[in-house]
Chain A
């Protein structure tokens, strides 16, 4: 038993060292380049300068405030999009007619990048919260919708046939065959949608906002503070990764039969 535990520790240690080797190397190279004077403080400040900025901004609370406001915006827009996309996706997946009716408009709207909506969103909703939520909604809607539709269409017909053999009601078929059958696709769509929502919040905050991580980037540019910009970018990356990790965990819990 002891040996097994020990070998497990070695496994974990191996994994962690492999996992962190490249990030640490990048950090060292970055620092080295700063020490050698290859990069300059006014274009690419050294990593400790960025860390210092992180400490200052954390201490006065602006960093946490910006992160929280962005996350709240994402969640609001994302959940609205999730609800709408699931409803439309399930309807289109179950009803051929509904799919045909909506097909053209949805297929034309799909390739329009969410940020292309920014000018209209500001005209329609002003520069307040609503325009940002709208952009996020557009960004998150299509990945969820398309995957839900695909998921339902990809359900093995043999399960529908089985339901016929046992005269299972349509309501029950939707609840116990269609939705669980499409769930792996839906979860993939949800992850893509949340990722897109996060991209959209940053984009919309860069245009018109007074708070949020996107605003932090723009503020850093205006103040000629590359350290703030870099910090903002790193924060965006890390938060995005964590949100995806959470959904990944959630989908393994929800799809426990696989």
Chain B
């Protein structure tokens, strides 16, 4: 097997506010192999976004070791694309200027890169548009095209479809799978949507809160092509669903 693309060992992180210290992550160990599609799921406050930000190099204040391709992560880098929940396009730049902004200044063939990557996400006619002229789904596609333009080896997705409507969300999930198969990019998605986690991930990491830690890891057997309605899909989803709510069954005790 090839060397892991991400190797996390004994990762812990805490926030100190005044006299209180809050453990955000405790003893997280995770190995991710090149080409994997990983979903990370957990309740809010479990540190899943923090974990992703650490992999992205946006947060470097932690204990333990986090390696990307055998080198410690010291900061952000183009080879690790990051998709935020908001599209984060600069409102004063057009779509093509936004993509150009993300590329190294010495890049040649900027035009070609822009056209190709917009095509990959199914957008050709929006190059001159400003972000406010785009729908939420389109804007998020542009931000994906922007990440792809930098030829990342890994894409870190932080609840990327959380702000979109259900139909757009499903479309973009399909799109991500297509990209993953086509471009062979390692993908790590953080989500609070169990269906999304199970539908996309080959492996679903379930996290728990206080302190944030990895609770379980499930290998998902994906049917080819993937299905949202097969009994197998639902069985795997239910398994994680139960995992999630095992201590909270009381919540359902009174409903209907």
Contact = CB atoms under 8 A, between A and B. Distances in A.
B178 interface: no
B75 A180 contact: no
Contacts of A181: 92
Contacts of A256: 130
Interface stretch (A7-15, A40-48, A124-132, A164-172): A164-172
Contacts of B163: none
Interface stretch (B20-28, B78-86, B198-206, B238-246): B78-86
Contact of A168 (B81, B93, B101): B101
A183 interface: yes
Contact of A257 (B78, B102, B130): B130
Given A167-B76, A168-B101, A257-B130, A177 B58 contact: no
A167 B88 contact: no
A164 B88 CA distance: 13
Contacts of B81: 165
Contact of B88 (A159, A169, A257): A159
B93 A158 contact: no
Interface string A150-177: 0000000011011011111100100011
B90 interface: yes
B122 interface: no
B226 interface: no
Q: At the interface, is chain B mostly helix, strand, loop or mixed?
A: loop
Given A158-B84, A158-B86, A167-B76, A172 B101 contact: yes
Q: At the interface, is chain A mostly helix, strand, loop or mixed?
A: helix
Nearest to A162: B88
Nearest to B82: A165
A175 to B, nearest CB: 10
Given A158-B88, A257-B130, A166 B102 contact: yes
Contact of B101 (A161, A166, A257, A258): A166
A114 B243 CA distance: 70
A17 B104 CA distance: 56
Nearest to B89: A162
A158 B91 CA distance: 12
A168 B86 CA distance: 19
Interface in A175-218: 176-177, 180-181, 183
A167 B77 contact: yes
Nearest to B130: A257
B14 interface: no
Nearest to B150: A166
Contacts of B56: 165
Interface string B116-141: 00000000000000111000000000
Contacts of A257: 91-93, 130-132
Nearest to A169: B105
Given A161-B58, A177-B90, 10 more contacts: A158-B84, A162-B84, A164-B76, A165-B56, A167-B77, A167-B104, A168-B102, A180-B93, A257-B130, A258-B91
Interface of A: 158-159, 161-162, 164-169, 172, 176-177, 180-181, 183, 255-258
10 contacts: A158-B84, A159-B90, A162-B84, A166-B102, A166-B150, A167-B77, A172-B105, A177-B90, A180-B92, A183-B92
